[in-house]
Structure 1
Amino acid sequence: FEAGGVQTQLVFVSACHSRLSGEAFAAAGVPHVVCVQKEAELLDSAALAFTRAFYLSLAMGDTVQNAFNIGVNAVVASPHVDARMSESEKNKFLLLPKPTSEDDHRHQVPIFGPKAERQHQSAEEHAELVEALEHLKRKVTIGDVDTHLLPEKPVDFFGREVDMHRLISHLQIRRLVMLWGRDGCGKTTLITALCQYLAARDFFPHGILFLRLRTRCTLGGMLELFRQAIVKQHKAAMFARPGDSDQQPPLLQPLPPTSGVGAFPSPGGAGASTDELQEWIISALQRRHALIIIDQSELVQPGEGEDDGLDLNSFLGQLFERVSSVKVLVTSATQAAPSASAHQVVEAIVSLGPLNLRTSAKLFCRLTPHIRTAYERSKFLQELLRERNQGDLTIYKRNVTRRTRRL
């Protein structure tokens, strides 16, 4: 883009491994280029923190160098970047061309013209921006899109970007989405990564509730896990934000006495019937724009006795009928999808298959400790993918060769 004249003043190559592209722009005469180290992959959360702070500083009339410094400091201060990784993440950003000496101040200029020059402020005068980010880091509220109550994203999440995009697209237009796939195909890994992605971008302002089922249970058992998750988020939010009246409310406030289901229960509360739990949860979720994730929904069994006829479908039907802004994502190893179609809610079904040979080989390269360099990775992949037209095939395709199937 153009800024302050007829010549392009700044290029921001916002991508992993973008140093070569950045150097090409610098060699072409662009005076200020921001890029990422050649061998570095950048966390989405770090890129977002840097970009917001960097552009805000530029828009306020700061110099490119000071805006860059504020951007990398924002990565360290961001509540969405793991503190153990923040230092390494900030060092991945580069500002090119590099100064040749201490007296080389080529980046100490604003890029938005004379008006920006008059409004220019030093990095020290922007300390309140970094201080505000530090303040956010000390918070642990889901309402502010903190992810400490969500499962951690796998370190080596790779090859499921298209599937994640499909889920996000469906969640934007559907209230119920089911992710179906065989046991062990990576459903939990995918939705774990999806949670972190959605939270970092504030898709659901009142948060994400993640229910991970591991054994067979009745609807009442699942609803009790649901209640416990709500209580945990509520307590974390209330502990973190005494007196923070200027922030948006946490995911769930204590229920008012007029709710018909009593006061907010204590964490140890138990003994409620399935109907009472269902009523409490639905009332608690009123007017909340949140996402509920139920992992391995096939483990929820129909009720017996007094709970006869109560199942996941009936609960979802009640939820969608009475709460207009909640969305639900379920995973299942069976094709018998939960449904709320009787309540005019049409579910979207996403089928998750195995990784193809090329992606599987690249993921193996990331995970094995025996392949350490880029050259070794290249040779390994070249050997595995030497047969033509096999790299994009999965194990269930008809034209998979015997060698590919064994691999």
Structure 2
Amino acid sequence: MANLHVLFLILAAVSGLYSKDSAVIHLNANNFDELVLKSKDIWLVEFYAPWCGHCKNLAPEYEKAAQALKGMLKLGAVDMTTDQSVGSKYNIQGFPTIKFFGENKSSPTDYDSGRNSKDIVNFMIQKAQQIANKRLGGKAETNSGSEKPRQEQQKQQQQQQDEPANDDDVVVLTDSNFDSTVLASDDLWFVEFYAPWCGHCKKLAPDWAKAASQAKGSVKFGKVDATENSGLAGKYGINGYPTLKFFIPGASKPEDYNGGRDASILVKEAFAKLDTLGKGQTMKQLVSEKVLTETCQDAVCILAFLPHIYDSSANERNRYIGVLSDVAKGYRGQPVRFLWVQAGDFYKLETMIGLGFGFPSVVALSLSKNRFALMRSAYIAEEMQTFIRKILGGSVPLTEYKELPKIKSVEPWDGFDHVLEVSNEDL
């Protein structure tokens, strides 16, 4: 019986993800307390199962990070199939679960950053610097002279957090609708394959919903219950939860996503993927009430009223739209939406706002609060950014309206100059 026990341990070690020569330190029930909990060292610990697909994908990146940090910071791994007792106290519900053990070893924190070696190394170095500064009695790290950008970033993050997350913005995908909804689409899709019982999936859910709301109108977010839709799970090799994939229009297969999983990072990566595809920020034209409500219902809507094509040219209009697009890029992931409007298409709306001449003009509109504000400065990026910043900060007077005029449907711009029609009588 003893020999069988030894054989089992040998087989378990062989089946592990990290070799005996790995820079990733093998942690188990015999050494965990001594090496991690009772030490002064800083640890990042992965709780994994050898059969887990996500664990297998993480292993080479985790190994690279461990090699880079060797002799400085510790990366360890616990095989939960052989040492379940180690992870049981930390409520491990899915694999891999990664936890950071800093100064307070009794209360480790979840690691939610990216899953590549560079992200792991940057995370550990940042944490080490924070702890070192704390021991010195100083403040946490930062570069001198960067306080203003940091404050602006914190303000933007708070605005992102304040935007309500609406699970309705996540499209439910199934074996029956996936091809027609995703594969036949011209949009970039970000899809989660999940299992209802998966702890990591439950933790991701609010961030996934928030990211879907923040990226609404640019990137589509979807979710697939892989336990109910085995056809899709088999087709895309889903063997761990949650699995996140980008579905790119026209591509033969999806791209795996292994980055961070909080809402701000998901949105950032989704827009970065859009940029690499050359799609960038799509600037919609207001052509119907449906476009207005779908785009702007839960956000501040920036409407750029551009000269009618009769009074302008395609080149001039594209230049105006380009300015709006550049400004919009700075507010991606925030509760701000952008539309351009052809002057004259919605006369009653222009009358309510007080427009009648001087195009292009910019208006901030809140459908939920029945208020608007007119930008009274030049149509340039810097002035628009200042106007939007003041709107978000509450320092611009808003005008209340009782009811928005009916938005009729109009024909979208065809992208060309207006060509005068000449009849035989004119000749």
Scaled by the length of structure 1, the TM-score of the pair is 0.26
More strand, by proportion = 2
Larger Rg: 2
User: Which structure is richer in relative contact order (CA contacts within 8 A, separation 6 or more)?
Assistant: 1
TM norm structure 2: 0.25
- Please identify which structure carries the higher helix content: 1
